[in-house]
Structure 1
């Protein structure tokens, strides 16, 4: 190395170092950040009303749950499971599974995965628009689940950030779009089900209960359910 080449190498190193630092700064600035404050299981339990329209809380047993594996433990910030009863109305089983963070690795399980794991046979899923009780419309999925000893009619929706994806692919796309906008969205699965032989006989009570759930929820709970207070 000649003495005259040393300043050139030093300047080149400085320029490259500055460029790399700039790229690193841009990457840090664009790194997705969580969209909402963390909510734990105890808080989630308190937010869900014990009286929903004509229905009142009875107990927390008898529901089909996501499989108890390590992924579920890492995925959900809280899961609320409840059964509600009302005079002259069908009993309703409610599951709310909330996740503070939805990214490419962790996403809420959809019921089409949970029910077959419990031995149920499912009808084709049908997408239906449901009034949410506060002037909006929620895209929901419905299906029948036939088990060994009972048949459930299921209505559910998933919210990922501001989106309501109705398929697993749509769910992944919603996460990706939010990440590209610089946020890691939260996510929730809201599932309402009842014991009935067919969807035609259960649909009225399922949709009425779901709309009353949104309407009677306090503002923080409504934000979790439908993304707006």
Structure 2
């Protein structure tokens, strides 16, 4: 005889319902993640070659050689990080040579990041000074770049460098990762370019003045192609 109350669902039936609900939520989450997976590759370089775009004469500086720079260890990771890599040494016949490195990594999906000097120089035994953001004059305006010193016994290298990730100019490793993440959320896989200019000199201020002048002349000489290096 019934007492008028609704029968309780069996424990196994309740468990099946919970499993069905959780499974549905996981499936919906997976579908959303797949829909947001970045798919549009944006490259300012396109199918052009850095070797062709970087001028061999920059103001009073002429191309001398492609060797003598501090570069990442040639292993599977560094090979994956770089799609194109240009290394140049320039001389003006009187000052210490200028060393230029331009590295491009296509398809920065967030898994791989371009190699920054604060990682490759210590790997070569250098001690680094604190990294200081400074403005660099560019065609009537300025961009923010990083300045630092790298030293080993018998060598003091003064360095300026910057990175472009898509249309962002991140200064730090954290900002670089954030720039990639922001573009990925928009469905964009950005390319990334690191530009590093250095010279051997114990006088930091004098060296930075020459580095800044060289950088400004480099960007000026590249004309419209400078958007490969700066946003």
Distance 2:211 2:106 in 1: 27
CA 1:142–1:37 in structure 2 vs 1: closer, same or farther (change >3 Å)? closer
Runs of 4+ aligned residues of structure 1 deviating over 6 Å after TM superposition are none
1:49 aligns with 2:67: no
Cα shift readout 1:123-142 (whole Å, capped 9, x = no counterpart): 1111101112x233211111
The partner residue of 1:195 within 196, 200, 216 is: 200
Distance 1:120 1:161 in 2: 30
Contact 2:58 2:217 in 1 (8 A): yes
Match for residue 125 of structure 1?
131
Contact 2:44 2:228 in 1 (8 A): no
Distance 2:148 2:45 in 1: 32
How far 1:86 sits from its partner (Å)? 0.7
Match for residue 155 of structure 1?
160
Contact 1:38 1:100 in 2 (8 A): no
Match for residue 145 of structure 1?
150
User: Within 5 Å, which residues of 2 pair with 1:68-107?
Assistant: 68-107=74-113
1:35 aligns with 2:39: no
Cα shift readout 1:123-167 (whole Å, capped 9, x = no counterpart): 1111101112x2332111111111133110001001111111111
CA 1:212–1:38 in structure 2 vs 1: closer, same or farther (change >3 Å)? closer
1:223 aligns with 2:224: no
Q: Could you tell me which runs of 5 or more consecutive residues in structure 2 were left unpaired when the two chains were aligned.
A: 1-26
Report SS of the residue matched to 1:64.
coil
Distance 1:82 1:38 in 2: 19
CA 1:198–1:172 in structure 2 vs 1: closer, same or farther (change >3 Å)? same
The partner residue of 1:110 within 101, 109, 116 is: 116
Distance 1:157 1:83 in 2: 18
Q: TM-score, normalised by structure 1?
A: 0.82
Q: TM-score, normalised by structure 2?
A: 0.81
Distance 1:59 1:140 in 2: 25
How far 1:91 sits from its partner (Å)? 1.5
Contact 2:201 2:207 in 1 (8 A): yes
Contact 2:44 2:227 in 1 (8 A): no
How far 1:118 sits from its partner (Å)? 0.3
Aligned length: 205
Q: Could you tell me which runs of 5 or more consecutive residues in structure 1 were left unpaired when the two chains were aligned.
A: 1-19
Q: Quote the RMSD (CA, aligned, Å).
A: 2.3
Cα shift readout 1:53-96 (whole Å, capped 9, x = no counterpart): 11010001110001212111111111100000114443100000
Contact 1:39 1:77 in 2 (8 A): no
**Bigger radius of gyration, 1 or 2?**
2
Distance 2:168 2:45 in 1: 19
